[in-house]
């Protein structure tokens, strides 16, 4: 158990994330949590708080709002976990929930105005040939990763949110589309533009 | 075959390309080196993105949440438990002490009240409808407006400094005021404080019968069918009951809202009440004054200072240290009555005043016969009306300066007619019920006072919006400027004021004005708060 907890704390390769607790162990914890077992909920919190917080932190603009959103997610989890049916991995489901929470928070700040408004030409324009710089190369050093991360954090909301949902939350286009209330095509377009913008911003650096 | 666009390859890398298209792309990849390179590059890019995002943007990345969710879960339970406990407590009150029964005499729909309802209503309209309420509202409204103006100036001056702390302070004050009511409580069918028992705190008691024979060092707040104080209350006594009997000692004041109050014992300070029948019996003694509104008032005992009463029937056979001021229908002073100061009485007919020859009145006698309509003959009346109008204009102007959008929108809202009117009736009738219900819970007493003040202010403001709307309707100004609004308000208020004095019709008009204005206000409040709620 301790090893798992420690593993959950440090940054780790993508493949390792879902493995800090797998199979029957995690299942039983989730089952107990669904039965309102406080210990199990605490365990889930220990395992996933960091990841959920990370998502919230990328999606929202301040540490405070990210903390608020994270605690909201885990507070609501006591009830919402009942609806988890095991059809997708738990961490994906949880990040989906967290994504919803953040989007609600963003919407709330916009006072009901639509967060993402689809613009027809956006989709069309992207079908055209792309004169932008080529994809980012491999990043090896920690400094480089920090640069990329900072650039992502500074992207405009409409690029940042889908990008984070996709590459941090591992949500599918459909899930992102559903969360943002837009078409799947548009998600693809947003992601593509987000990457282009990111490249442009990091372009002068040789990554 | 032509190469695929970068976006399509990118979607493919994300595993989101439709199956058929993905198959064709795979076939193409087998033959196209350029696209394979693009694919690889995009894969690496995705990896870079995921990799980079794994670390959190801030150094101290592990969030230090407190309280943790499981402890919050328990606090949730605690809150629910507290609400349930409070709920059952309040529900217990409703059941056991039958407050509705205790206040039945106030209810115009009660069996005895129903017969009078029609007469009451016609009297109400004949006397100017909501006029009395509006007068109250004017006083409360002005006080609050001063506070509001002062507060707004402060807030505008230090907006960013004060806004949040101010809000927090308010919350803290509210929170602090709550435990003030969390005092010793007893409730049950039959609540007693035994003769040998002493309570050092304030006691809040509710029951069908509340009998206090011991001693209370704080105040006694009692709700009940019957409240009997036979012991000693060192603080104040406040009762809401069908029948209150005080044969012991109350060292402070008595605030009484009962159907009947009998004072047989000693009262240190003053008696304030709103009761159906008040008797100060032979052995009853009031250390200071009496100020009551009562159906029947009877004084056989002694009052050290002055007595001011609004009563249907007043019988005085006891002694009053200073003045007796009375307004009502009948006044009787028996041979044993003694008044240390002046006697002022205002009645409808002189023959309803009976002063026995043996009665002692040290000061002057001033008996006034209230004649209706006489007010129009007095210059003072017009002066007051002018002051009233000026005050309303001032309030309107201030409101327009401070909340321009809200005031103008509320004015327009009056135009919605039936919606405002219906809503207004609902608010006019519903809010007092809410106030009483909130007050009964005691915990909500401060809230209920605030609600009452807001209610009265809204009634006062109602005529401004209706007046402004009426003026606008008549003048039809081209623009929508503030001076147009104020001119409209002046014209509208003048018309409303004059119409308001027409007997009967005036009452109906005032009533309608209050309903329309209140409805417009409520609707506008709803509209203003709506985006915040749904966002």
Q: Is the pLDDT higher at B394 or at B99?
A: B394
User: Of the candidates A57, A90, A109, which is a domain's last residue?
Assistant: A109
User: What is the rounded distance in angstroms from the CA atom of residue A58 to the CA atom of residue A163?
Assistant: 10
Parallel/antiparallel/unpaired status of strands B307-316 and B254-263:
unpaired
Q: What is the dihedral of CA B79, A75, A174, A131, to 10 degrees?
A: 120
Residues A68 and A125 both lie in one domain: no
| Interface predicted TM-score of the whole assembly (ipTM), two decimals | 0.76
How does DSSP classify residue B5?
Answer: P
As given in the structure block, the two tokens for residue B118 are: 């029609």
Chain A residues 88-127 with CB within 8 Å of chain B: 107-108, 110-112, 126-127
Q: Is any Cβ of chain A less than 8 angstroms from the Cβ of B69?
A: yes
Residues A68 and A160 both lie in one domain: no
Contact yes or no for A168 and B50 at CB 8 A = yes
Range of the domain at A171: 120-202
As given in the structure block, the two tokens for residue B130 are: 């909501």
What percent of chain B is modeled with pLDDT above 70? 70
Go through chain A and tell me how many residues it has.
207
- Residue A202 contacts residue A148 (beta carbons within 8 Å): yes
Residues A57 and A87 both lie in one domain: yes
Nearest to A156 by CA among A196, A203, A96: A196
Which residue blocks in A35-169 are alpha helix, DSSP H? 38-59, 63-80, 90-109, 120-127, 142-153, 157-167
Is the residue at A114 inside a domain? no
Residues of chain B positioned with their CB less than 8 A from the CB of A77: 69
Size of interface A-B (CB pairs under 8 A): 142
Is the residue at A87 inside a domain? yes
pLDDT confidence of residue A108? 76
Winning range, highest mean pLDDT, from A93-97, B55-59, B299-303, B384-388 = B299-303
What CATH number is associated with residue A68? Answer: 1.10.1740.10
Is the residue at A207 inside a domain? no
Is the residue at A12 inside a domain? yes
Considering only B3-12, B26-35, B377-386, B469-478, which range has the smallest mean pLDDT? B377-386
User: Of the candidates A53, A76, A109, which is a domain's last residue?
Assistant: A109
- Residue B213 contacts residue B229 (beta carbons within 8 Å): no
Contacts of A10 (CB under 8 A, 6+ apart): none
Peptide bond into A186 cis (omega under 30): no
Considering only B118-127, B371-380, B517-526, which range has the smallest mean pLDDT? B118-127
Query: What Å distances lie between residue A62 and A68, A105, A106, B36, B54, CA to CA?
Result: 10, 12, 12, 40, 18
How remote is the C-alpha of B354 from its chain's centroid? 41
Go through chain B and tell me how many residues it has.
535
pTM for the predicted model, two decimal places: 0.37
* Distance between first and last Cα of chain A: 39
User: What is the rounded distance in angstroms from the CA atom of residue B392 to the CA atom of residue B386?
Assistant: 10
Name the minimum distance, in Å, from the CA of A19 to any CA of chain B. 15
Q: Is any Cβ of chain B less than 8 angstroms from the Cβ of A63?
A: yes
What total of structural domains would you count in chain A? Answer: 2
User: Of the candidates A81, A109, A137, which is a domain's last residue?
Assistant: A109
Q: Is any Cβ of chain A less than 8 angstroms from the Cβ of B42?
A: yes
Q: What is the CA radius of gyration of chain A?
A: 18
Residues A124 and A100 both lie in one domain: no
Among B65, B70, B532, whose Cβ lies nearest the Cβ of A41? B70
Is the residue at A43 inside a domain? yes
Q: Is any Cβ of chain B less than 8 angstroms from the Cβ of A172?
A: yes
- Residue B2 contacts residue B33 (beta carbons within 8 Å): no
Instruction: Report the b/e string of B343-360 with b at 16+ CB within 10 A.
Output: bbbebeeeeebebeeebe
Closest chain B residue to A128, measured at CA: B5
Closest chain A residue to B41, measured at CA: A135
Residues A55 and A126 both lie in one domain: no
Residues A101 and A131 both lie in one domain: no
User: What is the rounded distance in angstroms from the CA atom of residue A84 to the CA atom of residue A35?
Assistant: 12
Residues A62 and A125 both lie in one domain: no
The answer to whether residue B261 scores a pLDDT higher than 60 is yes
As given in the structure block, the two tokens for residue B352 are: 């309803």
pLDDT confidence of residue B279? 92
As given in the structure block, the two tokens for residue B338 are: 């003694």
pLDDT confidence of residue B186? 67
pLDDT confidence of residue B480? 65
- Residue B345 contacts residue B307 (beta carbons within 8 Å): no
User: What is the rounded distance in angstroms from the CA atom of residue B414 to the CA atom of residue B424?
Assistant: 10
What CATH number is associated with residue A189? Answer: 1.10.10.10
Residues A95 and A20 both lie in one domain: yes
The DSSP secondary structure of B53-82, one letter per residue, reads: HHS-SSSS-S---SS-HHHHHHHHHHHHHH
φ/ψ of A12, rounded to 5, equals -145, 160
Instruction: Report the b/e string of B107-135 with b at 16+ CB within 10 A.
Output: eeebeeeeeeeeeeeeeebeebbbbebbe
pLDDT confidence of residue B67? 35
Residues A144 and A50 both lie in one domain: no
Q: What is the dihedral of CA A66, A67, A72, A74, to 10 degrees?
A: 110
How remote is the C-alpha of B519 from its chain's centroid? 17
As given in the structure block, the two tokens for residue A144 are: 């480089």
The answer to whether residue B284 scores a pLDDT higher than 90 is yes
Greatest CA span in chain A, whole angstroms?
Answer: 55
pLDDT band of residue B107 (cuts 50, 70, 90) is very low
Residues A7 and A104 both lie in one domain: yes
Contact yes or no for A207 and B48 at CB 8 A = yes
User: What is the rounded distance in angstroms from the CA atom of residue B151 to the CA atom of residue B123?
Assistant: 41
Is the residue at A65 inside a domain? yes
Residues A192 and A102 both lie in one domain: no
Residues A87 and A164 both lie in one domain: no
User: What is the rounded distance in angstroms from the CA atom of residue B438 to the CA atom of residue B11?
Assistant: 60
Q: Is any Cβ of chain A less than 8 angstroms from the Cβ of B74?
A: yes
Considering only B27-31, B67-71, B367-371, B503-507, which range has the smallest mean pLDDT? B67-71
pLDDT confidence of residue B271? 92
User: What is the rounded distance in angstroms from the CA atom of residue B427 to the CA atom of residue A174?
Assistant: 48
pLDDT band of residue B101 (cuts 50, 70, 90) is very low
Instruction: Report the b/e string of B179-194 with b at 16+ CB within 10 A.
Output: eebeeebebeeebbbe
Q: Is any Cβ of chain B less than 8 angstroms from the Cβ of A153?
A: yes
Q: How many CB atoms lie within 10 A of CB A170?
A: 17
User: What is the rounded distance in angstroms from the CA atom of residue A25 to the CA atom of residue A19?
Assistant: 11
**Consecutive H or E run containing B169:** helix B159-177
**Consecutive H or E run containing B238:** strand B237-246
């Amino acid at each position: 158990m301790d090893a798992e907890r420690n593993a959950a704390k440090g940054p780790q390769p993508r493949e390792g994330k879902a493995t800090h607790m797998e199979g029957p162990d995690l299942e039983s914890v989730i089952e107990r949590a669904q039965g309102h077992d406080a210990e199990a909920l605490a365990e889930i919190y220990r395992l996933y708080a960091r990841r959920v917080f990370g998502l919230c932190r990328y999606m929202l603009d301040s540490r405070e709002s990210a903390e608020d959103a994270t605690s909201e997610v885990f507070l609501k989890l006591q009830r919402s976990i009942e609806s988890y049916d095991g059809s997708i991995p738990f961490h994906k489901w949880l990040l989906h929930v967290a994504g919803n929470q953040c989007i609600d928070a963003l919407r709330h700040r916009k006072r009901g105005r639509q967060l993402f408004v689809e613009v027809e030409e956006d989709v069309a324009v992207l079908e055209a040939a792309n004169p932008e710089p080529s994809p980012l190369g491999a990043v090896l050093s920690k400094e480089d990763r920090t640069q990329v991360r900072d650039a992502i954090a500074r992207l405009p909301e409409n690029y940042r949110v889908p990008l984070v949902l996709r590459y941090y939350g591992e949500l599918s286009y459909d899930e992102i589309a559903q969360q943002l209330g837009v078409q799947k095509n548009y998600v693809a377009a947003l992601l593509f533009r987000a990457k282009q913008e990111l490249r442009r911003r990091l372009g002068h650096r040789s990554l | 075959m032509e190469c695929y666009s970068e976006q399509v390859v990118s979607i493919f890398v994300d595993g989101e390309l439709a199956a058929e298209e993905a198959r064709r792309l795979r076939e193409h990849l087998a033959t196209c080196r350029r696209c394979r390179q693009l694919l690889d590059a995009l894969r690496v890019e995705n990896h870079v993105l995921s990799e980079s995002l794994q670390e959190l943007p801030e150094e101290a990345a592990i969030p230090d949440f407190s309280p943790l969710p499981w402890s919050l879960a328990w606090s949730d339970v605690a809150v629910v438990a507290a609400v349930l406990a409070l709920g059952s407590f309040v529900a217990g009150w409703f059941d056991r002490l039958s407050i509705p029964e205790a206040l039945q005499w106030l209810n115009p729909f009660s069996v005895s009240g129903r017969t009078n309802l029609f007469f009451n209503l016609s009297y109400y309209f004949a006397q100017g409808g909501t006029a009395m309420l509006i007068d109250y509202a004017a006083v409360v409204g002005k006080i609050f407006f001063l506070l509001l103006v002062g507060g707004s100036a402060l807030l505008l001056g230090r907006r960013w400094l004060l806004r949040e702390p101010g809000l927090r302070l308010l919350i803290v004050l509210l929170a602090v005021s709550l435990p003030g009511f969390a005092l010793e409580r007893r409730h049950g069918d039959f609540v007693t404080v035994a003769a040998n028992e002493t309570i050092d705190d304030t006691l809040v008691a509710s029951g069908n019968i509340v009998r206090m024979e011991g001693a209370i060092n704080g105040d006694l707040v009692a709700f009940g069918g019957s409240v009997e104080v036979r012991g000693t209350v060192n603080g104040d006594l406040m009762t809401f009951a069908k029948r209150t009997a005080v044969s012991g000692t109350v060292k402070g004041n008595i605030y009484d809202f009962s159907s009947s109050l009998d004072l047989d014992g000693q009262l240190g300070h003053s008696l304030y009440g709103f009761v159906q029948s008040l008797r100060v019996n032979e052995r009853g003694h009031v250390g200071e004054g009496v100020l009551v509104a009562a159906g029947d008032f009877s004084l056989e005992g002694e009052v050290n200072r002055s007595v001011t009463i609004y009563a249907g029937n007043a019988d005085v056979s006891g002694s009053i240290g200073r003045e007796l001021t009375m307004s009502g229908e009948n006044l009787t002073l028996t041979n044993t009555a003694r008044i240390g100061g002046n006697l002022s009485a205002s009645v409808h007919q002189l023959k309803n005043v009976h002063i026995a020859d043996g009665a002692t009145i040290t000061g002057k006698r001033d008996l006034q016969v209230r004649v209706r309509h006489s007010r129009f003959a007095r210059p003072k009346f017009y002066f007051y009306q002018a002051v009233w109008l000026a005050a309303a204009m001032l309030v309107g102007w201030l409101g327009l300066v401070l909340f321009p959008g809200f005031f103008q929108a509320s004015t327009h809202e009056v135009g919605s007619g039936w919606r405002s009117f219906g809503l207004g009736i609902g608010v006019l009738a519903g809010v007092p019920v809410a106030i009483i219900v909130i007050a009964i819970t005691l915990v909500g007493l401060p809230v209920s006072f605030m609600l009452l003040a807001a209610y009265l202010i809204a009634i006062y403001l109602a005529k401004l919006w209706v007046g402004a709307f009426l003026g606008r309707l008549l003048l039809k100004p081209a623009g929508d400027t503030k001076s147009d609004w104020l001119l409209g308000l002046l014209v509208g208020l003048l018309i409303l004021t004059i119409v308001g004095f027409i007997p009967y019709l005036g009452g109906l008009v005032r009533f309608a004005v209050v309903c329309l204005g209140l409805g417009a206000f409520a609707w506008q409040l709803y509209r203003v708060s709506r985006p915040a709620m749904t966002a």
